[in-house]
Structure 1
Amino acid sequence: MRAVDGVSLSLAAGETLGIVGESGSGKSVLGRTIMGLITNGPATQVTGSVRLAGVDVHGVKQARRRELWGTTVAMVFQDPMTSLNPVKRVGLHLTESLRLHRGLSKGAARERAVELLRQVGIPEPARRAGQYPHELSGGMRQRVVIAMALACDPQLLIADEPTTALDVTVQKQILDLLQSLAERLDMATILVSHDLGTVAGRTDRVAVMYAGRVAESAATDAVFGTPRHPYSQALIESIPSIESRPHSLLATIEGSPPNMLAPPAGCRFAARCRYAVDRCRVEAPALEPRGAAAGSVVACHFPLTAPLQHQRQEVGA
């Protein structure tokens, strides 16, 4: 099974890339592969390269890869419940990397750890640093994971659903913190999220993934204003709108993603696409530049051209 198939991305310092798509589209696997956490083994095979600041993560030994984790690249994992060691106190999760990568003394590392916990909005950070993960709520554990990722000021941060377990007000605080750190440190960020509203307001570019492949990639304004791929259009239309009539049905994408063990020969979205024709079902479209916007690519034989509002009117006609 190809969990991630032929994905190619580039990211500049200080730039934020949003990756969106349904569950199972390959977003988290892509992030772990960039980190170097998924490598060749009995059950997996990785081809291609991942170059971070000139270093091929998959071409170096494990010891060198460990040196890159935390300083060059860091990741906020999706599930805070399994991202923390249950037998280590919260503070140790932070001081360990600070002492290893920054050479801080035990006391200085603890002071920095408490400050990091305060930055991510944890009350009584000094006391929380002495507690175990099970003594914290899910939202607080998520904030600890974020503090861990930011501890050594990485050049690239991969945030996989970083605000899943947080309430709305804390979500804004965390996203504001990530944005301010990215600006201060000139840090590149990959933001993986199911919340299209978050991605729309916090990213420079967006890559839409479907069934392990990139369906469309362009500047954020271009994707949300004039989506070129029917899947991008359907995702945006599924967002509830305050302008919708009361008690009206929410827009959905009919059907289910394809079986990745036996993907279809043609476009992987064809079975669910309202515009699909016979060619779409037998010939896979290439990811090619489309439109006047620089860097805009889409994998569709018949890419959409009208702004989103016009597309909605045409479909409803």
Structure 2
Amino acid sequence: MTTAPQPKDPAPPTGNGTPLLTATDVRTAFHTARGPVQAVDGVSLTLREGETLGIVGESGSGKSVLGRTLMGLITDGPGTTVSGSVLFDGRDVHALTPAGRRALWGTEAAMVFQDPMTSLNPVKKVGTHLSESVRLHLGLSRAQARERAVGLLRQVGIPEPSRRADQYPHELSGGMRQRVVIAMALACGPRLLIADEPTTALDVTVQKQILDLLQSLTEELRMATVLISHDLATVAGRTDRVAVMYAGRLVEYADTAAVFDRPRHPYSSALIASVPRLDLPPHTLLPAIEGSPPDLLHPPPGCRFAPRCGGATDRCVTEAPRLTGHAGDRETGAVACHHPLGADEEATV
């Protein structure tokens, strides 16, 4: 069992006690030539102002699709089916018109994507990327927008911000480009920030700088933040709660320290056990989760982790477990497992 991380101080509730973001039974399916792929299958979660939620899981577990669905970037239409509700400050994101969603993006909710080069136009200067949104949403003049752009670059820790504003994305390092993308997301002062694998392809030192920057800005601006990652170390100590996804479903949803110190789902336990530890002797083989995630075109009828779980029973193979418990319970949280682990148990995979 790994040592529990030092969690953040719990975020205080909003003034009226209502969550800023409430997702209920969210389902997102993509229609393919082989049939529908249920990428997100019945996810429910809440997020309050000033709170940070980590969403973790293997590649292909549905994390990024969930983030885009929460933002309203994926909607019900040709090729996709989206159901359930996503309420942002009481408004149903998916009931908004396209113009209403565009008004929401940037000013109230923003997203940082995995690859900054695909988020930046290579033929536009960095300052133009930043000034366009503030001129559109905040009505600033060209000079005011330029001043705002330079200030944003300075806020995210880019040296010589005036000079960098006149450069093109390819003239910046990967870490600087990611900071520019973060500055773009923060340009209009959003209340919700969804960061989807914000440190992908960055070296370890730059990863820490970016994560520290996101954490400090979240605390300074009192934003609600969703941090999506396949790396458990990314969310440890930087989030208030963790939602563990597997094959499109939430399998565990609890206080961060509880998940890392007392994981109740075998998948959560196996993920944590596979993380390298400094206290292990040299050349120690890390435990691996045998097998592969299920084909979401034809998911198994019971627990989707059952084929890879050493503790699975006949019930697990035939009956899908429901997420039971409450994410706010600091001792147990919520878990979707017929045989949840106890305080001193580790998963058998």
Q: TM-score range by the shorter chain?
A: over 0.9
Distance in 2, matches of 1:290 and 1:175, equals 28
Deviation at 1:290, TM superposition (A): 7.0
Q: Does 1:58 align with 2:68?
A: no
Q: What one-letter code is carried by the residue in structure 2 that aligns with 1:311?
A: E
* Structure 2 residues not aligned, in runs of 5+: 1-36
Deviation at 1:92, TM superposition (A): 1.1
Distance in 2, matches of 1:53 and 1:157, equals 14
Deviation at 1:171, TM superposition (A): 2.8
Aligned residue in 2 for 1:255: 291
Higher share in strand: 2
Q: Does 1:299 align with 2:333?
A: no
Please tell me whether the aligned partners of residues 139 and 165 of structure 1 are also in contact (alpha carbons under 8 angstroms).
no
Identity score, percent = 72
Aligned residue in 2 for 1:215: 251
Range 8-17 or range 164-173, more displaced: 164-173
Aligned residue in 2 for 1:194: 230
Q: Does 1:245 align with 2:281?
A: yes
Distance in 1, matches of 2:238 and 2:289, equals 25
Distance 1:185 1:269, change over 3 A: same
Aligned residue in 2 for 1:282: 318
Q: What one-letter code is carried by the residue in structure 2 that aligns with 1:301?
A: H
Distance in 2, matches of 1:40 and 1:79, equals 25
Q: Could you say what secondary structure the match of 1:48 adopts?
A: strand
Deviation at 1:295, TM superposition (A): 7.9
Q: Does 1:178 align with 2:214?
A: yes
TM-score, normalised via structure 2 length: 0.85
Aligned residue in 1 for 2:84: 48
* Structure 1 residues not aligned, in runs of 5+: none
Distance in 1, matches of 2:301 and 2:195, equals 32
Q: What one-letter code is carried by the residue in structure 2 that aligns with 1:87?
A: V
Distance in 2, matches of 1:108 and 1:165, equals 34
Higher share in helix: 1
Q: Does 1:113 align with 2:149?
A: yes
Q: What one-letter code is carried by the residue in structure 2 that aligns with 1:201?
A: G
Question: Matches of residues 1-317 of structure 1 in structure 2 within 5 Å?
Answer: 1-289=37-325, 293=330, 296-306=333-343, 310-312=344-346
Deviation at 1:207, TM superposition (A): 0.2
Distance in 1, matches of 2:244 and 2:314, equals 24
Distance in 1, matches of 2:62 and 2:185, equals 21
Please tell me whether the aligned partners of residues 3 and 29 of structure 1 are also in contact (alpha carbons under 8 angstroms).
yes
Distance in 2, matches of 1:100 and 1:295, equals 46
Q: Could you say what secondary structure the match of 2:43 adopts?
A: coil
Deviations 1:154-200 (A, max 9, x none): 10000111122333333333223222222232210000112212211
Deviations 1:225-270 (A, max 9, x none): 1101000000100110112121121221111000010000010000
Please tell me whether the aligned partners of residues 80 and 142 of structure 1 are also in contact (alpha carbons under 8 angstroms).
yes
Distance in 2, matches of 1:194 and 1:62, equals 31
Deviation at 1:294, TM superposition (A): 7.1
Please tell me whether the aligned partners of residues 142 and 165 of structure 1 are also in contact (alpha carbons under 8 angstroms).
no
Please tell me whether the aligned partners of residues 52 and 72 of structure 1 are also in contact (alpha carbons under 8 angstroms).
no
Please tell me whether the aligned partners of residues 114 and 197 of structure 2 are also in contact (alpha carbons under 8 angstroms).
yes
Distance 1:264 1:53, change over 3 A: same
Deviation at 1:216, TM superposition (A): 0.3
Distance in 2, matches of 1:90 and 1:188, equals 26
Distance 1:295 1:9, change over 3 A: farther
Distance 1:112 1:166, change over 3 A: farther
Please tell me whether the aligned partners of residues 258 and 332 of structure 2 are also in contact (alpha carbons under 8 angstroms).
no
Total equivalences in the alignment: 312
Q: Could you say what secondary structure the match of 1:64 adopts?
A: helix
Q: What one-letter code is carried by the residue in structure 2 that aligns with 1:281?
A: V
Distance in 2, matches of 1:271 and 1:145, equals 40
Distance in 1, matches of 2:197 and 2:81, equals 25
Distance in 1, matches of 2:140 and 2:202, equals 31
Q: Could you say what secondary structure the match of 2:282 adopts?
A: coil
Distance in 1, matches of 2:155 and 2:220, equals 14
CA RMSD, aligned part only?
A: 1.9
